[in-house]
Amino acid sequence: MKKAYFFDMDGVLLNSMPNHAEAWRRVMQEYGIDFPPRVCYINEGRTGKDIIEWLGAVNRRPFTPEEVQHIYDEKTRVYHELGGGLPLKGIHEVLEYLQTRAEIWVVTGGGQYDLYEQLERWFPGIFRREQMITAHDVTHGKPHPEPYLRAWEKSGYGKADCCVIENAPLGIKAGKAAGLMTVGVNTGILLRSDLSMAGADKVFDDMTGLLKWLQESEK
């Protein structure tokens, strides 16, 4: 059992990736850019700004800073119109198990200012503002190790006492680059091999598998 667990948010805490992918697809389509779901899932973990600038670069359509902000605001609006995200099946049991045994952190590329309020609505009393790393806290988003390094540094624990819980290849790469044990939970449309090839130390198909592993690790 580790002393601190660093949870990604989208696709780990919330089943929000389908609506994120659809929101990105709709908004980028207005700019003549195709952003299919698998490509979106593969790039999950980047900050919104990084995603927009990356799409602009690969499509040879550079965006101005004003356009980047407008696209991100529109994508956020559409995402909420689609319904946002609900707690992922099995995540409440995982969090309840860990709540009295370890610190629970959130490390997300999300930049919405109401992230804490969203988490408090779905997981009351589980998370603390000071144990969150968002897009506003870093210069470099995932796959850069900075988000998880910031969480590790703030936790005050040794790296061997921390564990990353991710569902995205870029998040897994970020966790491993930070020198932390990184566990993948394949909750979306990707293949298990997408997560293992990204460097995950362990890969589970759902939260039930993750919970069983956590329980066994305490023995």
Which active-site residues does the annotation give? 8, 10
Q: Could you please report the per-residue DSSP string of the chain?
A: --SEEEE-SBTTTEE-HHHHHHHHHHHHHTTT----HHHHHHTBTB-HHHHHHHHHHHTT----HHHHHHHHHHHHHHHHHTT--EEPTTHHHHHHHHHTTSEEEEE-S---TTHHHHHHHHSTTT--GGGEE-GGG-SS-TTSSHHHHHHHHHHT--GGGEEEEESSHHHHHHHHHTT-EEEEE--SSS-HHHHHHTT-SEEESSHHHHHHHHHHHT-
